[in-house]
Amino acid sequence: MGRPNKDEEATKIMTYGGLLHRITNKIRQSLELQDILAATVAEMRLFLQTDRVKIYRFHSDASGQVIAESIAQKRLPSLMGLNFPATDIPPEAREMFIKAGRRSIVDVASEEITLSHSDFRVEPSSSQPIGDILKRSVDPCHVEYLRAMGVLSSLVVPIFDQQQLWGLLVSHHSQSKAFSEQDLQLVQLVADQVSIAITQSALLAQAREQVRQETMLNQITPLLHSPRPIEEILQLVLERIVRSVQGSGGRLYLKSIDKGKPDLYTCGMQPALIEPEQAAWLEQQSFWQQLILKETLDFHATDFRKLQVVTDLYLEPQLSSFSWAFQTTPIRGMVVLPIQHNSHESLGYLTIFRNAINIETLWAGYWDEDERQQRPRQSFEAWLEYKNNQAPPWTDEDIELVESIGIHLAMAVMQYQLHQLEVHNQELQLAHKIAEESSRLKSNFLTMDAAESPVSSE
């Protein structure tokens, strides 16, 4: 009688081992996170024999999106690509995932939720009894929410990235379903493998971004030191910088070395010209002029070292007095980088504009932002939300690239200005020598003329 049990146990071990082996191999063989996630949900659904397995990723605003999914014979509708508002998984629920660290199982029929005991960890400051956290009744709203989705059994395992809650591995079934402890342990191991894949993907993304930035710098640096006229060089560099960060326009303002008229290079979209005779009116505004002394300011713009980021120029108080100049344009955001050779000497400013963007978000059912109307949705049918004229985001990678190019640009401008100053000094010295020679010749002529005058008078 014991033989079948041993055979069954051996089969399970082989099944568990095979699943982990396939997922681990996928992580080793593929460099693309999306491919790994797609393979993971497919393998997990076949292993758990449930109707749907999905991977849900949190956004920075705590909302989230289903980015990978596997469903069985359409017994449950697809949620792939749909977004869910932050209120669907409120802060206390996310905190519970972090505290419990592992899985939660909801049985809709009994209206109970169970958290893993073996892997449970809770903060010492928590006043909630451990027993209440490990197993308790499900909130009626949560039960209603799952029923509206057609779900009677839910298994949720948190996915972490560098100790931060990154997302969830979720299994849904249209009937009640029990999971063995061995099944749950395997699901956890798979979630841990996904965490490894996320870290691997992040490192790959960093490497690709570094290559992109180095490629751009390698294109611009030789151009800055090419034998072309400096005016042509600076115009081309400005255009390439704007293009590299998906800007809509840009301005390169350089102060004159002899207190004369400053140089201004522009490309793409520009604000309205207030004074036709003064093209560089924008750089005369206090927002630009005070950037060199920005330690005394209290800007609402995000400060990335010396660079100032304005995500929405209509919300920046320092720009309110002349924001009307942008109203006839689609410009909505900008970055301004002081061109400085050192911390005390300003050479000018690099300004890059970005146009407003339209954002389409596909939500899992219509939802109301008014917290007073927060009730479980009765439908998860896709609802497209369309927002016009939104402020464009600037990423850390964008800022890093602009700053890196700014360093090379400042060095090139400084070298050019030093060269111009040297040429100017040489011209002054030559003019001085010519003046001295002219004075000497004039003096000699007058001397000779004076010496010859008596003879002429005879």
* Predicted confidence (pLDDT) per residue in 439-455, tens digit: 777 777 677 766 666 55
Instruction: Name the burial class of residue 86, with classes exposed (0-12), middle (13-18) and buried (19+) by CB atoms within 10 angstroms of its CB.
Output: middle
Bridge partners of 105?
A: 114, 155
What is the number of alpha carbons within 13 Å of residue 154 lying toward its C-beta?
24
How confident is the model at residue 297, as a pLDDT?
40
157 or 284: whose pLDDT is higher? 157
45 and 178 part of one domain: yes
Provide the number of structural domains found in the chain: 2
C-alpha 373/C-alpha 369 separation (Å) is: 8
Amino acid in position 73:
Q
Tokens of 267: 């490309």
Q: Which of 299, 291, 295, 393 is nearest to 349 (CA)?
A: 291
Indicate if 19 and 162 belong to the same structural domain: yes
Q: Which of 204, 237, 264 marks a domain boundary?
A: 204
Handedness of CA 264, 270, 271, 274 (dihedral sign): positive
Query: Higher model confidence: residue 413 or residue 129?
Result: 413
Whether 285 is in a domain gets the answer yes
Mean pLDDT throughout 91-105? 80
pLDDT digit string, tens, across residues 311-349: 999 999 988 888 889 999 999 999 999 888 765 667 889
- Confidence label for 125 from pLDDT (cuts 50, 70 and 90): very low
- Same domain (yes/no): 76, 124: yes
Answer yes or no: is pLDDT of 23 > 50: yes
- Grade residue 293 by pLDDT with cuts at 50, 70 and 90: low
With a cut of 70, say whether residue 431 has pLDDT above it.
yes
What local confidence, expressed as pLDDT, does residue 451 receive? Answer: 66
In a domain, 383, yes or no: no
Q: Which amino acid is at 434?
A: I
Give the highest mean pLDDT range of 37-46, 315-324, 362-371: 37-46
Among 169, 204, 239, residue at a domain's last position: 204
- Note whether 178 and 244 are same-domain residues: no
Residues 158 and 283 in one domain: no
* In-domain check, residue 212: no
Confidence of residue 259 (pLDDT cuts 50, 70, 90): low
288 domain-assigned: yes
pLDDT tens digits, one per residue of 179-202: 888 888 889 889 999 999 999 999
Q: Residue 291 corresponds to which tokens in the numbers above?
A: 């950037």
Q: Is 319 within a domain?
A: yes
Q: Are residues 157 and 262 in the same domain?
A: no
Residue 423 lies inside a defined structural domain of this protein: no
Spacing of C-alpha 147 from chain mean position: 37
Same domain, 192 and 249: no
- Domain finish residue from 174, 204, 234: 204
Task: Output the CA–CA distances (angstroms, integers) from residue 317 to 197, 299, 351, 364, in the order listed.
Answer: 43, 8, 18, 37
Distances (CA, A) of 304 to 273, 308, 342, 352: 29, 6, 17, 15
Can you tell me the distance from the alpha carbon of 87 to that of 5, in angstroms, rounded to the nearest whole number? 46
pLDDT at 378: 76
1-5 average pLDDT score? 51
Asked whether residue 255 carries a pLDDT value surpassing 80, the answer given is yes
Place of tokens 């002899």: 258
My answer on whether 271 and 413 are in the same domain is yes
Instruction: Name the residue with higher pLDDT: 441 or 231.
Output: 231
Q: Are residues 196 and 327 in the same domain?
A: no
The CATH number of residue 58's host domain is 3.30.450.40
SS3 assignment, position 225: coil
Burial status of residue 144 (CB atoms within 10 A of its CB: 0-12, 13-18, 19 or more): middle
The answer as to whether 217 is a domain residue is no
Residue 143 lies in a domain: yes
Residue 333 · residue 311 · CB < 8 Å? yes
Q: How many angstroms separate the CA atoms of 95 and 98, rounded?
A: 5
- Specify the pLDDT at position 74: 81
Same domain, 284 and 409: yes
pTM of this structure = 0.78
Tell me: do 57 and 199 sit in the same domain. Answer: yes
Bridge partner residues of 336 (DSSP): 308, 351
> 82 or 414: whose pLDDT is higher?
82
CA angle, 338 then 342 then 345, to 5° = 65
For 102-119, how does the pLDDT look when each residue is reduced to its tens digit (9 = 90+)?
678 888 988 888 876 444
Do 171 and 301 belong to one domain?
Answer: no
pLDDT band at 304 (very low <50, low <70, confident <90, very high): very low
Which segment of 197-206, 241-250, 276-285, 295-304 scores lowest on mean pLDDT?
A: 295-304
The whole domain housing 149 covers 2-204
* Amino acid 269: pLDDT: 94
Is 335 within 8 Å of 246 (Cβ atoms)? Answer: no
